[in-house]
Structure 1
Amino acid sequence: MAEKLSKILADAPVRLEPLADHHLEPLRAACAEDQEIWDIYPVSMLDENFDKAIQSFHNTSNWVRFAVINSGTDTVVGMSNYINPDQTTKVTEIGGTYIAPSVRGSGFNGIMKKLMIDHAFACGFTRIEFRVDTRNKRSMAAVLKLGATHEGTLRKNRITWTNYVRDTAVFGLLKEEWSL
């Protein structure tokens, strides 16, 4: 099932392409557009941390990674992932998402998530999870806007790259609830 997830998804102005080496330098530039946001991410994608993060990606086999492209400008503006897709339970998480400030607030994220959600459900998944640092109010609001349900908060469950011990809000979206 995970192999089926890795394909180009598009609905203007969003195009998701399986992350490849030719996306890395444009992704580095996109990540550098917001220096402050990385403090609320589990890992940093700035400066020398970018290379460390990419190396750790190569060592993780249970993620399906995408470069997020603004098809209007053919520019890499971020990344998103299916995390731990499990064909036995038919559950996957969508996360590790970053989009550049230039496309925030434009509906771009909603289109991107709709593409990913539609595709996961079409591939046989029946539940999608989102796990968000509770300090990231913008992401939590975006997930709720998709129709996901806040199912609880995991207290002090992850140490971020800044050594902050975060609380993680867990959201779930079932196939039968999906209507966007």
Structure 2
Amino acid sequence: MTAHPLSQILAESDMVLQPYDSEYREALRAAYALDQKIWEIYPHSMVGEHFELSMRHFEAHYADGNWAGFLVLVAGQVAGLSNYINADAGNKVLEIGGTYISPEFRGTGVNGKMKRLMINHAFANGYRRIEFRVDARNKRSQAAVLKLGAVQEGILRQNRITWTGYVRDTVIFGLLKDEWRGSAS
């Protein structure tokens, strides 16, 4: 297993972003199961019989060092997961995605705080651009990314087939280091 260079514990007050550890697998399964409907707008389903296959997909990316996964812990409770994806150190670009926040933590500032920690960490480690790729149907995530200060740069039409067979459009957002104000709430 190759550890991702950005994979380290990040923390602020009662929130800890801990590098993914399979010991939390069942806690993630339980958190994912709290919102059965949301998975219709994700590329992969993380509930029911889909959980094992999808987690193996994520874990393969963690193992090859292509992704860095972070368990989102709030006061010790698993609140979700987010990832650095396809980090290109040569071009100093990475994506933050594959994010899920449990329903009880939505609207509480957890997502903004988590993203702020991840963005600050990436920029402090020499990255100059962060991308977010969001299903065009996911208006809540698009609004959250805009709130971070990212700019919508375009739409990739019909670029991904989701686990349901839906052919989605993907909205691309970019955030540059010199534009970042650290203002996620």
TM-score, length basis structure 1: 0.96
Identical aligned residues as a percent = 59
User: In structure 2, what is the equivalent of residue 112 of structure 1?
Assistant: 114
Alignment of 1:1-180 (within 5 A): 3-60=4-61, 61=64, 62-70=66-74, 72=75, 74-180=76-182
The one-letter code matched in structure 2 to 1:53 is S
- Distance, in Å, in 1 between the alignment partners of 2:152 and 2:95 is 14
Cα distance, 1:92 vs. partner? 0.3
Question: In 2, Cα distance between the equivalents of 1:93 and 1:14?
Answer: 21
Unaligned runs of 5+ in 1: none
Cα RMSD (Å): 1.0
Displacement of 1:59 in angstroms is: 2.3
CA contact under 8 A between 2:41 and 2:138: conserved in structure 1?
A: yes
Q: Secondary structure at the match of 2:172?
A: strand
- CA separation in 1, counterparts of 2:170 and 2:33? 25
Alignment check: 8 A CA contact 2:131 2:173 kept: yes
Q: Which runs of 5+ in 2 are unaligned?
A: none
Q: 1:4 offset after TM fit, Å?
A: 2.9
Q: Is the 8 A contact 2:4 2:67 kept in 1?
A: no
Q: Deviations over 1:15-62 (max 9, x none)?
A: 111111111000000000101000000000001211111111232231
Q: Distance in 1 between matches of 2:7 and 2:142?
A: 25
In the alignment, the residues of structure 1 paired with residue 131 and residue 9 of structure 2 have an alpha-carbon distance, to the nearest angstrom, of: 21
Separation in structure 2 between the aligned mates of residue 3 and residue 164 of structure 1, nearest angstrom: 31
SS of 1:95's equivalent in the other structure is: strand
**How far apart in 2 are the matches of 1:55 and 1:149?**
32
Kept in 2, the 8 Å contact 1:13–1:108? The answer is no
